[in-house]
Structure 1
């Protein structure tokens, strides 16, 4: 009788397991690691940027992404450096996607400006994402950069015509590094949210003609010089602002 009872219980357990399917480990719902973390120097700040993961660890569409933690550590001499030491990294920014504050979302990447840096020091970054339930991703790829003294701001001027605005700029004297060109930025009036980079690659000539304009709209322009310092591009301080709009035809 007891043997028969045990067989029935066993069959019931097998049937129940068949209905539920295989168990899914909780960690498989965690976000997949952030990829393509990068760092650039603009003026005296490092701009750390990364795309959001779209999948969880099991490859399913990621749900309930809540934010990121940005970690930074100084890179020490080889005989002292310790990537895995528990005190190596410091959290320099926790990003809450509901209240991102000074972290911007631009060109499908989150961008954090890290300004608490010392010239001559190399810094390394990593990012961890987390869901609303607190589950965390593994760490992203590492990105490192040496902090250098950035070039000072160039001087910018503008001349308006009936079909375009022509910008010209001059770098300040004593600029360090090898000149690469300049990036040109524009926004519509005072609306900072409309800021766009007009030149995907640095402009080698020290002038730029903007032909993509609407009549009656005032535009605000700035430029940043780009120099090569020890093989790394560095952007200068931002230039003065100039305003331009299409001149009325005579």
Structure 2
């Protein structure tokens, strides 16, 4: 009788262990955070190239995917991929490395939406870079990926010098001196130029396409309106463009 009871207890114990092994602790998937705490994806990730490397900027999220207000972000996760141009495959998945964790904080500075920045001088010549970012409000509530920014890095070429702007009726003619390639540039590298324009002296936008020539006529202007221009050098290599120096701005008003 005693042996029969022991056998029954052992059987129940083994059955329980089997159920635990098959079902785990009862959670089949990771817990899903409520939509009210999941940040909306960042949509304005941008980069700028400077003489020290590059800088990323983006805005703090201020709403959840449900539309509720987010007062703060606990952290950001920045993803980076670095690919030699000789190995780059346009149709292949981007091999992002493990993310870098960056501190978050309040989403607003007073009534102004805060901007996050990240600087990097650890760039290798002849490589193509990709960046994306996510935000978190807790360890289990992270946003979807931001937009992806990408660029090719070479030692930046010097900015064009002596940019001039000649006004005329409904047009502006720009001209500049050729830039000097960066030291150590390969023989098969070339230089192009990109004209940028602004109305208020900020938030420059590209006009026209990259070109090899050292003059440009802007006919998309209005007489009496003041315009600001800069010209940026671009290094060309294997159909890729790497941003270089930006000239001093010139201001002009077509007549």
Between Structure 1 and Structure 2, which shows a larger proportion of strand residues? 2
1:138 deviates by 5.0
TM-score of the aligned structures, taking structure 2 as reference length = 0.56
Taking the TM superposition and a 5 Å limit, the aligned residue runs for 1:187-226 are 187-188=198-199, 191-193=200-202, 195-199=203-207, 201-226=209-234
1:45 deviates by 3.8
Gapped runs of 5+ residues in structure 1?
1-23, 104-111
Partner of 2:165: 158
Taking the TM superposition and a 5 Å limit, the aligned residue runs for 1:1-250 are 26-29=33-36, 30-31=38-39, 41=49, 44-48=52-56, 61-65=66-70, 69=76, 71=78, 83-84=97-98, 89-91=100-102, 94=104, 97-99=107-109, 100=113, 112=117, 114-120=118-124, 125-130=131-136, 135-137=141-143, 147-155=153-161, 156-175=163-182, 176=185, 177-179=189-191, 181-188=192-199, 191-193=200-202, 195-199=203-207, 201-229=209-237, 232-247=240-255
Gapped runs of 5+ residues in structure 2?
1-30, 84-94
Q: 1:169 to 1:94 in 2, by over 3 A?
A: farther
| Structure 1: distance between partners of 2:181 and 2:237 | 14
| Structure 2: distance between partners of 1:64 and 1:50 | 18
Instruction: Select the structure of larger CA radius of gyration.
Output: 2
Whether contact under 8 Å (1:222, 1:242) holds in the other structure is yes
Whether contact under 8 Å (1:31, 1:55) holds in the other structure is yes
| Structure 1: distance between partners of 2:53 and 2:108 | 25
1:239 deviates by 0.7
Q: Which moved more, 1:234-243 or 1:221-230?
A: 221-230
Q: 1:94 to 1:203 in 2, by over 3 A?
A: farther
2:159 aligned counterpart, secondary structure: coil
1:246 aligned counterpart, secondary structure: coil
